[in-house]
């Protein structure tokens, strides 16, 4: 079927260009890199928050609304009787031209109507707590234009959860102040909050509104606010109800003339004793200072240049030139960009994650870190410390923590027995990238309790021990509440639709539920841990753990092999899961991925057989499904997994996150053709061409799940942006396919490619060095024959690290 196109990649500008506002699902972007963040759709929908999408929500957004994507930063332009928005929504007045360019931490939306062009550049300047909206209005007609411009933002009453539910209070708490061209939002500032927000424009205004119902009208909508339709602001002052911020500006434009307006949505925190400048009047000193930094076009353009330069630097760290645009644009631009976004947000705030339910995941953030660590290592370092600080003395940990407080989230709890291993995965990646072993000596508390600090190395040790101390009858790891698959809840038995699978009782007494996924993960991270111990001279500890790893390998070979693939688990009663003996879900991807990455039983042909089985039973046109066949009914003993209809999510969806595990397994086995074909199936730039309509979600990033072959609509994507897929795709392509792998003493070069691959180069900044690496595959899938470093032959596959600029030639 011919697919409709909604846009295209612009690699030169590192943008995705959307040319039709009616995308099959809102296609969004993220603004902000550290503290102040915004989500923005291709029609300017979305919201902003400071650090934590739950506790410090600045503007309001309506999830799950009709129509979709309701709430955002809107500019209404009234030109005669016509009212339109540059992003088409919410008025939906047909435009003469529309374009949305999503770039690296910025979005530019341009609309044209009746000879007027309105272009808005949205971005969050580095290190500033604000969103800049630079609106340029241009008269392209031959007549003078008298325009009425209304801005619009709706305030969220800070806590995004209570904002949606506690109306008996909310409708009475709203407070604002208006000063010149700035509207201040100060709900709850009178009591315990020491923060406020503001919305400013750098020009004189001719009116304003701050009360939503007065502006919109009780029975009107964002599409036709009464004040805008009548061209008359009400100068309303919100007291309770729903405070908003809208500026009204009269603009005259001569033919050919253009004018810039700088709108600023800012967030300010004051010291407790400096909150007020007069009784009940907020101290606006910091707001004035922030505004002064960004109140002209020149200042804003400079801030934007700084942001672009920042992204130049980040994306110069790893650059491939392969002659394949689809590969290069994902590796050089979008995959790395998505890695930064997932590092920042974990699974908290997207158009599928409301920002309310989930904070930073323990396992999620460790994995995200592996996609990000080469970009800004100091931030990765801090993240490792933050994550480890939510661990308990026995090695267990909170499953999630809140970014604002950095405290474990009790609502989700713990008991996921894979969690501890991921700390090793993240830390090892950090040290290999940076060579900074001092992180192991950092003193890190348990559960954030001062006085409980031990070294980070100790945290790693107890993480390994947590697995060893929780083995089941087959000497395989007990699964706990669940392993990586949150929905395989083998100790949680629920017939009560009112309880959550994630928090319902986790029966540990008498359980025999063991996980082959954790077994594989333990072997992979255990080998890393052993190598680390050897590296830092802890030989006894290395030997101790090597024994545990060997024992685990034995246990998998003895009790975890089903003949053609690795078993998935044993249930509470010790019955096999993911076995040919089962009626449904005979094979699962997770254990194939981890046990092949761990190379368990490779010498006995297990790895090759498992990889073949993935191709035979799991692979389909759109990628590899999680399990096969799908569960067709709810199984009380398995928990949430079988609650999903066939082909969706953890029940035989294509969970893109774990496809790379099998791909790495393929790479380690030297099967480059298979690795590549799996990889290309879920690579957005390949998917873009074929499935713009079917796939639905953004064509420039991976999504968590694509409906599997058993689904009603196979190939449909969901849950875009925030997914471990980003980091795993990056790790897979950068280190295993293209084969440039940071190691303690240098860079290991070991590509695994399809036979068709031609010569390619990778420019890699590594610590204080720059490497220009050229690879000549010569039709080979795997196996480096020779390497030269600055013209001198290198023995082995690791180029030893020395600062400076180096040229590397690799022949396969």
Q: How far is the CB of 509 from ligand BGC (least distance, A)?
A: 25
Whichever of 364 and 646 has its CB closer to ligand BGC, that residue is: 364
Spatial contact of 52 and 101, defined as CB atoms under 8 Å apart: no
Whichever of 350 and 485 has its CB closer to ligand BGC, that residue is: 485
Pairing of strands 769-776, 804-811: parallel
Whichever of 202 and 417 has its CB closer to ligand BGC, that residue is: 417
Whichever of 104 and 487 has its CB closer to ligand BGC, that residue is: 487
Which residues, at least 6 apart from 197, have a Cβ–Cβ distance to it below 8 Å? 58, 155, 184, 185, 265, 266, 267, 268
Spatial contact of 484 and 444, defined as CB atoms under 8 Å apart: no
Q: Which residue bears the tokens 């949505």?
A: 265
Whole-number Å distance between alpha carbons of 675 and 681: 10
Whichever of 295 and 364 has its CB closer to ligand BGC, that residue is: 364
For the chain, report the end-to-end CA distance as a whole number of angstroms. 40
Whichever of 225 and 361 has its CB closer to ligand BGC, that residue is: 361
Whichever of 331 and 569 has its CB closer to ligand BGC, that residue is: 569
Closest CA to 193 of 147, 158, 229, 163: 158
Q: Which residue bears the tokens 């405070």?
A: 243
Is 163 labeled as catalytic in the residue annotation? no
Whole-number Å distance between alpha carbons of 37 and 55: 13
Widest CA span in the chain: 84
Q: How far is the CB of 567 from ligand BGC (least distance, A)?
A: 19
Closest CA to 523 of 557, 490, 480, 567: 557
Whichever of 364 and 571 has its CB closer to ligand BGC, that residue is: 364
Pairing of strands 258-269, 276-278: unpaired
Q: Which residue bears the tokens 């960004």?
A: 294
Q: How far is the CB of 725 from ligand BGC (least distance, A)?
A: 10
Residue 522, classified by CB atoms within 10 Å of its CB into exposed (0-12), middle (13-18) or buried (19+), is buried
Secondary structure class of 796 (helix, strand, coil): coil
Q: How far is the CB of 722 from ligand BGC (least distance, A)?
A: 8
- Catalytic one among 211, 368, 486, 674? 486
- β-bridge partners, 30: 39
Q: How far is the CB of 720 from ligand BGC (least distance, A)?
A: 13
652: left (phi over 0), alpha (psi -120 to 50) or beta: left
Q: How far is the CB of 595 from ligand BGC (least distance, A)?
A: 17
Q: How far is the CB of 726 from ligand BGC (least distance, A)?
A: 12
Whichever of 184 and 416 has its CB closer to ligand BGC, that residue is: 416
Whole-number Å distance between alpha carbons of 594 and 574: 21
Contacts for 315-320: CB closer than 8 Å, 24+ residues apart? 315/14, 315/104, 316/763, 316/765, 317/374, 317/375, 317/764, 317/765, 318/374, 318/734, 318/740, 318/762, 318/763, 318/764, 318/765, 319/762, 319/763, 319/764, 320/738, 320/760, 320/761, 320/762
**Minimal CB distance residue for ligand BGC:** 486
Other CB atoms within a 10 A radius of the CB of residue 785 amount to: 10
Secondary structure class of 450 (helix, strand, coil): coil
φ, ψ dihedrals at 546, nearest 5°: -60, -40
Whole-number Å distance between alpha carbons of 280 and 363: 45
Residue 407, classified by CB atoms within 10 Å of its CB into exposed (0-12), middle (13-18) or buried (19+), is middle
Whole-number Å distance between alpha carbons of 366 and 340: 13
Whole-number Å distance between alpha carbons of 198 and 176: 9
Secondary structure class of 152 (helix, strand, coil): strand
Binding site for ligand BGC (CB under 6 A): 347, 361, 363-364, 484-487, 650
Whichever of 315 and 467 has its CB closer to ligand BGC, that residue is: 467
Structure tokens at 116: 């007027």
Secondary structure class of 579 (helix, strand, coil): coil
Closest CA to 395 of 472, 516, 477, 491: 477
Spatial contact of 764 and 718, defined as CB atoms under 8 Å apart: no
Whichever of 154 and 364 has its CB closer to ligand BGC, that residue is: 364
Closest CA to 45 of 136, 154, 148, 159: 154
Whichever of 15 and 364 has its CB closer to ligand BGC, that residue is: 364
Whichever of 110 and 485 has its CB closer to ligand BGC, that residue is: 485
Whole-number Å distance between alpha carbons of 580 and 613: 12
Whole-number Å distance between alpha carbons of 92 and 391: 50
Q: Where are the beta strands (DSSP E) in 32-87?
A: 36-41, 48-50, 57-59, 74-79, 82-84
Could you list the active site residues?
A: 486
């Amino acid at each position: 079927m011919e697919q409709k196109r909604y846009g295209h990649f612009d690699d030169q500008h590192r943008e995705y260009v959307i040319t039709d506002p009616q995308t099959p699902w809102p296609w969004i972007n993220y603004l902000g890199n550290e503290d102040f963040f915004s989500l923005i759709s291709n029609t300017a929908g979305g919201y902003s928050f400071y650090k934590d999408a739950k506790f410090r929500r600045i503007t309001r957004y309506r999830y799950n609304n009709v129509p979709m994507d309701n709430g955002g930063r809107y500019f209404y332009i009234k030109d005669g009787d016509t009212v339109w928005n540059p992003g088409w929504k919410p008025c939906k007045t047909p435009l003469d031209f529309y374009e949305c360019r999503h770039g690296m931490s910025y979005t530019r939306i341009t609309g044209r109507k009746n000879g007027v062009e309105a272009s808005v550049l949205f971005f969050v300047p580095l290190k500033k707590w604000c969103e800049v909206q630079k609106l340029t209005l241009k008269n392209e007609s031959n007549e003078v234009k008298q325009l009425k411009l209304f801005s619009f933002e709706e305030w969220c009453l800070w806590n995004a959860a209570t904002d949606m539910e506690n109306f008996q209070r909310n409708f009475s708490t709203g407070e604002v102040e208006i000063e010149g061209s700035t509207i201040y939002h100060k709900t709850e500032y009178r009591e315990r909050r020491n923060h406020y927000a503001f919305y400013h424009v750098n020009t004189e205004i001719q009116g304003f509104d701050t009360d939503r119902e007065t502006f919109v009208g009780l029975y009107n909508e964002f599409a036709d606010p009464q004040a805008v339709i009548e061209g008359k602001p009400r100068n309303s002052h919100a007291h309770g109800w729903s405070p908003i911020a809208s500026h009204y500006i009269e603009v005259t434009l001569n033919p050919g003339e253009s004018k810039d307006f700088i709108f600023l949505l800012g967030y300010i925190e004051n010291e407790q004793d400096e909150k007020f400048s007069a009784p009940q009047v907020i101290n606006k000193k910091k707001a004035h200072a922030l505004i002064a930094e960004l109140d002209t076009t020149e200042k804003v353009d400079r801030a934007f240049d700084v942001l672009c330069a920042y992204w130049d630097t980040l994306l110069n760290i790893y650059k491939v030139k392969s002659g394949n645009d689809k590969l290069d644009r994902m590796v050089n631009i979008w995959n790395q960009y998505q890695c930064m976004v997932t590092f920042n947000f974990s699974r908290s705030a997207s158009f599928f994650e409301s920002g309310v339910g989930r904070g930073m995941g323990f396992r999620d953030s460790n994995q995200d870190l592996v996609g990000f660590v080469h970009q800004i290592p100091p931030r990765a370092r801090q993240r490792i410390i933050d994550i480890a600080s939510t661990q308990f003395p026995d090695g267990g940990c909170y499953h999630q923590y809140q970014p604002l407080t950095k405290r474990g989230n009790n609502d989700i709890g713990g008991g996921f027995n894979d969690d501890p291993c991921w700390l090793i995965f993240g830390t090892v990646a950090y040290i290999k990238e940076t060579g900074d072993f001092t992180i192991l000596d950092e003193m890190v508390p348990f559960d954030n309790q001062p006085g409980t600090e031990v070294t980070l190395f100790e945290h790693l040790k107890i993480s390994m021990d947590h697995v060893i101390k929780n083995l089941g009858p087959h000497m395989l790891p007990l699964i706990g509440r669940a392993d990586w698959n949150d929905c395989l809840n083998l100790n949680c038995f629920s017939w009560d639709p009112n309880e959550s699978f994630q928090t319902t009782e986790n029966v540990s007494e008498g359980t025999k539920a063991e996980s082959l996924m954790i077994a594989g993960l333990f072997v992979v991270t255990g080998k890393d841990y052993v190598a680390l111990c050897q590296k830092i001279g802890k030989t006894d500890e290395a030997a101790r753990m090597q024994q545990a790893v060997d024992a685990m390998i034995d246990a998998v070979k003895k009790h975890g092999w089903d003949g053609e693939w690795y078993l998935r688990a044993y249930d509470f009663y010790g019955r096999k899961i993911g076995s040919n003996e089962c009626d449904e879900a005979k094979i699962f991807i997770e254990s194939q991925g981890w046990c092949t990455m761990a190379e368990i039983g490779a010498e006995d042909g297990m790895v090759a057989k498992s990889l073949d089985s993935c191709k035979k039973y799991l692979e389909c046109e759109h990628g590899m499904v999680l399990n096969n066949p799908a569960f067709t009914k709810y199984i009380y003993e398995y928990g949430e997994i079988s609650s999903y209809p066939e082909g969706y999510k953890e029940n035989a969806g294509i969970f893109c996150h774990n496809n790379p595990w099998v791909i790495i397994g393929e790479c380690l086995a030297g099967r480059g053709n298979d690795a590549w074909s799996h990889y290309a199936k879920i690579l957005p730039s390949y998917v873009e061409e074929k499935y713009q309509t079917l796939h639905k979600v953004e064509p420039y990033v991976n999504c968590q799940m694509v409906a599997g072959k058993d689904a009603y609509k196979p190939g449909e994507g969901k849950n875009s942006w925030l997914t471990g897929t980003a980091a795993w795709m990056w790790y897979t392509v950068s280190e295993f396919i293209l084969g440039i792998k940071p190691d303690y003493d240098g860079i290991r070069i070991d590509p695994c490619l399809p036979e068709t691959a031609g010569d390619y180069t990778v420019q890699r900044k590594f610590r204080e060095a720059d490497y220009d690496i050229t690879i000549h595959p010569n039709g080979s899938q795997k196996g480096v024959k020779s390497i030269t470093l600055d013209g001198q032959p290198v023995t082995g596959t690791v180029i030893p690290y020395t600062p400076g600029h180096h040229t590397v030639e690799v022949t396969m």
